[in-house]
A and B are shown apart, each in its own frame.
Chain A
Amino acid sequence: MLIDIILLLGGAVLVGVFGILIALFLMGVDRIVTARMQARIGPPLSQPLTDIRKLFTKENVVPANAIPLLFNLAPVIALASAITILLYIPVGGFPPVLSGGGDLILVMYLLTLPALALVAGGFSSGSPYATVGAQREMVTMIAYEFPLAVVIIAIAWKLAVSGIPLPFMLASVQANPVWGLVGPLGIIGVLILFFVLLIVTPAELSRIPFDTPEAETELAGGVLVEYSGKNLALFTLTQGVKTVVMASLVVALFIPYRLSAIILAPVILQPVLDLLFYLVLVVLVAFIAVSLIRVSMARFRINQVVSVYWMYISLIGIAGMLLIMADHILGVV
């Protein structure tokens, strides 16, 4: 019993450190790749680490009209909840640390926590820019939640009707790649859902074109405008860890393959192989969902964010779900 708890704690710390390291790595890759696509050289890969280290040495300014408790608590909650999600998602080719305790529904709820902490921090910082930014963050959250739910439910439903027990468990999703369960029509449906999840990712991460809550040019950083020093460092790390979370979620739902299952390798090398394969996949997903979309679009207005998600992306997601359902019904008949 005690050993279990120690193992669990050790795993949690390990995943936390690992998550932050991958987060810094992804942020560095994103900055370099974006720079290259914009005909710039870009910073070295270690730049995010340097930035965070610098932020930790800076003064932590709390505005006079802020609510200090909430203002200082929000970044801690945000980072903690982001790392908590990592405990439920398979990271680095290993099964999730808390594999027995939670499922996709919990992950969906946990995903809103960092955003809610951001909103609370924004409202408590007492700046008009942060207030507008926090309102926009809430609206964005409401907007992308529905397509995200559609994707998760469609996949879990497919697993359920295929007779797999506990369809919402990430371990079952991981063990049974959805591509193998569907027919040709369903593959189109899964592809559509894959696309929808990739489009939801930039909004979840407040990146262009859905970075309206931070909107540098009109809100000067929006929700984060009053944050500095340690608190800003924590929020920046949260953004990075959320990138890892979303990329891992995409990988877990749609590319749950292991290299060790395909290539024969010595047992000791297998985890290394899996880890490398996972890193490649995560970088690839982050590249498409974050960097590529970011360099090729302008920022949306908040009403356009809502209409894009509620109208187009939701409809596309539902179409994908219907295709999977039709595929299943046809297959059964």
Chain B
Amino acid sequence: MNGDTTKKSTPYTIPIGPVHPALKEPVMFTFQMEGEVVRSVDFAPGNTHRGIEWMGMRRNPVQIVHLTDRICGICGIVHSLSFARAVEQIAEIEVPPRADYIRTILHELERMQSHILWAGVAAHELGFDSLLFLAWRVREQSMDLIENLTGNRVNYGIVQIGGVRRDISDDQRPVIEQGLAYYRGLIDQMKTVFLDDSTIRMRCRGHGLLSYRDAQLLCAIGPTARASGVAMDVRHDYPYCAYGDLDVHPVLPPQEFGGPQGDVYDRIIVRLLEIAQSIDIIQQCLDSMPAGEILWEKKLPKLLSILKKAQGEAIGRVEAPRGECMHYVRMDGNEAPATWKVKASSYSNLMSWIPMLKGEQLADVPIIVASIDPCMSCTDRVTIIRNGAADNLTKEELTRLSREKTRRLSRC
């Protein structure tokens, strides 16, 4: 295993990516290996840039909301909600309370299906395919619920500026209650299957460590940060939608599992507990859902003309399943926004790969890479092309470009 390290004093290189079974989306890793151990690692995103912001800047906000659905296949609500909240702040639109509750319910259903999907992926990365199939089978229930409420399994198209496009009828309430009961009965079983399995514990406990300090220095967010003990959750720190009325606290790895240690195992714990938390939140929403309108303005032409006059800038923040998602929008009295900037949650988490992967074995690379639940198509915002080939920007060039952008923004 490590026997030939004396002969080969220089580490050898193993490329993983841009397309590789360890990765669910394209990103390029270069590992400097010594035997089976990772000495250093570098990664280069930028392989799934689709120019969504460019498309959005040529459309009006109502059109962009549906474009945001397509930024990510899993976080449809997250991006559309985040964008809608930014625009609503600029145009000073007050969302009806019932719409806020419906948004919250869908937001949490999305978190549940995303976390269960992740649990399946994690099991597969560990070579535990039975768990993958079982996890994805129970995920269907949440997908069915979402389809029942929005009409779609993905790309829901439910969020509108100023509210939501579909109400939750009285007939649909028992369906949701039934779904919640299904997951309530399942959550203990899922905890047993994932947390009491000795092979999973052997592979995950103490591996892919991200210390509390590193998590803060690298601005990690979401379950990645919470597994390292950083008590941070937009739903709690900066409540939006209905979260202000609800009882929501950041989920940290509990003491019964030894408190936060910042390893892969803790990230599994946090996500499983968040599924339970989401069930609880949806129940709270159902219990206290107010009656009333679901849209601030039903007539689209009127809404569009109001949005056209809106001026100003705002940031929409939402706690996505992967962490904080942020949309910056600036409107200057035109039909299309002057600036639209998407910061997906994975963007903040990618850098934590570097300390996590250093010193780990090659066998643990897939699960550690997957443990932050990276979403590359959310994250990739730019690809540099020079002389017909992909290229990189240096720090100086980036600084210059960002100063130029700030100046341009402050002029408009």
A135 touches B133 (CB 8 A): no
A130 to chain B, nearest CB (A): 11
Q: How far is the CA of A219 from the CA of B362 in the complex (A)?
A: 9
B203 touches A38 (CB 8 A): no
Chain A residue with Cβ nearest B4: A135
Task: Tell me the chain A residues, 271-318 only, with Cβ under 8 Å from chain B.
Answer: 295-304, 306
B127 touches A302 (CB 8 A): no
A304 touches B130 (CB 8 A): no
Write the B124-151 contact mask toward A (1 if CB under 8 angstroms, else 0).
Answer: 1111111101100100000000000000
A279 to chain B, nearest CB (A): 26
A298 touches B127 (CB 8 A): yes
B206 to chain A, nearest CB (A): 12
B100 to chain A, nearest CB (A): 38
A216 touches B21 (CB 8 A): yes
Q: How far is the CA of A215 from the CA of B22 in the complex (A)?
A: 10
Q: How far is the CA of A299 from the CA of B130 in the complex (A)?
A: 12
Interface centre among B14, B127, B137, B362 (most CB of A within 10 A): B127
Interchain Cβ contacts under 8 Å between A and B, 8 examples: A38-B129, A39-B134, A39-B137, A136-B1, A217-B124, A299-B128, A301-B363, A301-B364
Whether A211 sits at the interface, judged by CB under 8 Å, is yes
A300 touches B366 (CB 8 A): no
B127 touches A132 (CB 8 A): no
Q: How far is the CA of A302 from the CA of B362 in the complex (A)?
A: 10
Main secondary structure of the interface of B (DSSP, over half): helix
Task: Tell me the chain A residues, 190-241 only, with Cβ under 8 Å from chain B.
Answer: 208-209, 211-212, 215-220
Interface centre among A219, A295, A302, A303 (most CB of B within 10 A): A219
A206 to chain B, nearest CB (A): 12
A135 touches B130 (CB 8 A): no
Given contacts A218-B366, A220-B20, contact A38 B361 (CB under 8 A): no
B126 touches A298 (CB 8 A): yes
A128 touches B127 (CB 8 A): no
- Our pick among B14, B21, B128 for the contact of A128 (Cβ within 8 Å) is B14
A263 to chain B, nearest CB (A): 38
Q: How far is the CA of A132 from the CA of B202 in the complex (A)?
A: 22
B14 touches A129 (CB 8 A): yes
A302 touches B133 (CB 8 A): no
B363 touches A298 (CB 8 A): no
B79 to chain A, nearest CB (A): 28
- Our pick among A39, A220, A297 for the contact of B21 (Cβ within 8 Å) is A220
- Our pick among B1, B126, B134, B365 for the contact of A299 (Cβ within 8 Å) is B126
Whether B12 sits at the interface, judged by CB under 8 Å, is yes
A259 to chain B, nearest CB (A): 34
Interface centre among A128, A218, A298, A300 (most CB of B within 10 A): A298
- Our pick among A132, A295, A300 for the contact of B199 (Cβ within 8 Å) is A300
Given contacts A215-B127, A217-B22, contact A128 B361 (CB under 8 A): no
Whether B36 sits at the interface, judged by CB under 8 Å, is yes
Question: What chain A residues lie within 8 Å of B1 (beta carbons)?
Answer: 135-136, 139, 302-303, 306
Whether B396 sits at the interface, judged by CB under 8 Å, is no
A127 to chain B, nearest CB (A): 10
Given contacts A212-B363, A299-B126, contact A218 B22 (CB under 8 A): yes
A304 touches B14 (CB 8 A): no
A211 touches B14 (CB 8 A): no
B363 touches A296 (CB 8 A): no
Whether B62 sits at the interface, judged by CB under 8 Å, is no
Binding site for A on B (CB under 8 A): 1, 12-16, 20-22, 36, 123-131, 133-134, 137, 197, 199-200, 202-203, 361-366
Q: How far is the CA of A128 from the CA of B29 in the complex (A)?
A: 14
Q: How far is the CA of A304 from the CA of B125 in the complex (A)?
A: 17
Given contacts A128-B12, A297-B199, A303-B1, contact A38 B364 (CB under 8 A): no
Question: What chain A residues lie within 8 Å of B363 (beta carbons)?
Answer: 212, 215, 218, 299, 301-302
Chain B residue with Cβ nearest A35: B133
Chain A residue with Cβ nearest B12: A128
Q: How far is the CA of A212 from the CA of B363 in the complex (A)?
A: 8
Write the A132-144 contact mask toward B (1 if CB under 8 angstroms, else 0).
Answer: 1001100100000
Chain A residue with Cβ nearest B123: A298
User: When A and B form their complex, which 6 residue pairs have the shortest distance between CB atoms, in order from nearest?
Assistant: A299-B127, A298-B128, A298-B126, A298-B199, A38-B133, A217-B366
Question: What chain A residues lie within 8 Å of B126 (beta carbons)?
Answer: 217, 298-299
Question: What chain A residues lie within 8 Å of B21 (beta carbons)?
Answer: 216-217, 220
Task: Tell me the chain A residues, 117-135 only, with Cβ under 8 Å from chain B.
Answer: 128-129, 132, 135
Chain A residue with Cβ nearest B132: A38
Whether A37 sits at the interface, judged by CB under 8 Å, is yes
B36 touches A302 (CB 8 A): yes
B36 touches A132 (CB 8 A): yes
Question: What chain B residues lie within 8 Å of A128 (beta carbons)?
Answer: 12-15
A205 to chain B, nearest CB (A): 15
B357 to chain A, nearest CB (A): 12
Chain A residue with Cβ nearest B126: A298
A63 to chain B, nearest CB (A): 15
A209 touches B362 (CB 8 A): no
Chain A residue with Cβ nearest B133: A38
Question: What chain A residues lie within 8 Å of B366 (beta carbons)?
Answer: 217-218
Given contacts A135-B1, A211-B127, contact A301 B15 (CB under 8 A): no
B133 touches A217 (CB 8 A): no
Task: Knowing that A217-B124, A217-B126, A299-B203 touch, tell me 18 more A-B residue pairs with CB under 8 angstroms.
Answer: A37-B130, A132-B36, A132-B362, A139-B1, A208-B127, A211-B127, A212-B363, A218-B365, A218-B366, A220-B21, A295-B129, A297-B128, A298-B200, A299-B363, A301-B203, A301-B361, A303-B1, A303-B361
- Our pick among A40, A209, A303 for the contact of B127 (Cβ within 8 Å) is A209
Interface centre among B12, B130, B200 (most CB of A within 10 A): B130
Question: What chain B residues lie within 8 Å of A295 (beta carbons)?
Answer: 129-130
Question: What chain A residues lie within 8 Å of B361 (beta carbons)?
Answer: 301-303
Chain A residue with Cβ nearest B1: A139
Q: How far is the CA of A79 from the CA of B240 in the complex (A)?
A: 64
